[in-house]
């Protein structure tokens, strides 16, 4: 789902207006050397605005908490990091298409925030702290857990679970199936479900297992981790849209 840029920029502008910084006057007879600055807007309005703004930042700048300097935050103002992140995000929203065109990078971009919610919800916290390999593993676990929830099974997981669910055989007692289309006896039906089972095995055997079980692996580059998240997002959408056959 694409971002409503006009709405997002308006929310960011409102936050910047609420958090305008100023130095409060010293009490009469007191000289203060504190570096702290106050905000123009009421604290309650700022907190409410921040609730929306943080979600915009998570979409536009997924690693803003790690990449935007925070060392001066507590010294100057509680919202200092947010303000800088908002300013950066506003530039991205305003000029991203232009920058990509001018620098030759105007190919379609992949956003983790636009992936299936099971994937991004599972990966978000670790991703934002730069733990990309662990984030992919967390997303894989989330997809597995949500799939188990959908079909009401806990006795199998991961590769065995998906092979069973996408099996072309009819459902049995305690073994429901996931159907991506009606079983009309066609080659298409068989191909789709055979492919889904094979794809799921590739995701867990080729991505999730090495990420989880190999000690001493170097951190994944962000773009490679994003590609791996995308694979699990495809699987999650198939599962989420499938009909449970009992």
Contact partners, residue 235, CB within 8 Å, separation at least 6: 143, 162, 196, 199, 200, 203
Query: In the structure, what pLDDT confidence band is assigned to residue 30 with cuts at 50, 70 and 90?
Result: low
Q: Measure the CA–CA gap between 81 and 190, rounded to whole angstroms.
A: 53
- Read off the pLDDT of residues 87-114 as tens digits, 9 standing for 90 and up: 999 998 888 767 766 776 656 667 887 8
**Looking at the predicted structure, is the pLDDT value of residue 161 above 90?**
yes
- Read off the pLDDT of residues 48-61 as tens digits, 9 standing for 90 and up: 999 999 999 988 88
**Looking at the predicted structure, is the pLDDT value of residue 9 above 80?**
yes
Q: What is the DSSP pairing of strand 177-179 with strand 243-245?
A: antiparallel
Q: What pTM, to 2 d.p., does this model score? A: 0.66
- Read off the pLDDT of residues 182-228 as tens digits, 9 standing for 90 and up: 999 999 999 999 999 999 999 999 999 988 876 667 888 988 999 99
The pLDDT score that the predictor gives to residue 228 is 96
């Amino acid at each position: 789902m694409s971002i409503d840029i006009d709405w997002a920029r308006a929310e960011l502008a409102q936050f910047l207006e609420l958090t305008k910084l100023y130095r409060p006057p010293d009490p009469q007879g007191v000289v203060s050397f504190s570096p702290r600055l106050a905000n123009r807007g009421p604290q309650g309005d700022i907190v409410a605005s921040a609730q929306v703004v943080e979600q915009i930042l998570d979409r536009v700048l997924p690693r803003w908490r790690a990449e935007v300097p925070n060392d001066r935050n507590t010294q100057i103002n509680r919202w200092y990091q947010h303000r800088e992140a908002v300013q950066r995000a506003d530039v991205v929203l305003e000029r991203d298409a232009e920058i990509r065109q001018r620098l030759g990078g105007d190919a379609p971009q992949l956003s983790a925030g636009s992936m299936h919610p099971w994937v991004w919800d599972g990966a978000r916290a670790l991703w934002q702290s730069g733990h990309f390999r662990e984030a992919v593993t967390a997303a894989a676990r989330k997809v597995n857990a949500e799939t188990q929830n959908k079909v009401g099974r806990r006795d199998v997981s991961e590769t065995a679970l998906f092979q069973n669910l996408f099996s072309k055989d009819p459902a049995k007692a305690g073994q429901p199936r996931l159907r991506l289309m009606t079983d009309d006896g066609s080659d298409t039906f068989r191909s789709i479900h055979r492919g889904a089972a094979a794809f799921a095995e590739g995701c867990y055997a080729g991505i999730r297992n090495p990420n989880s079980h190999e000690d001493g692996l170097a951190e994944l580059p962000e773009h490679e981790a994003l590609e791996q998240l995308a694979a699990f997002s495809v699987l999650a959408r198939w599962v989420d849209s499938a009909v449970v056959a009992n």
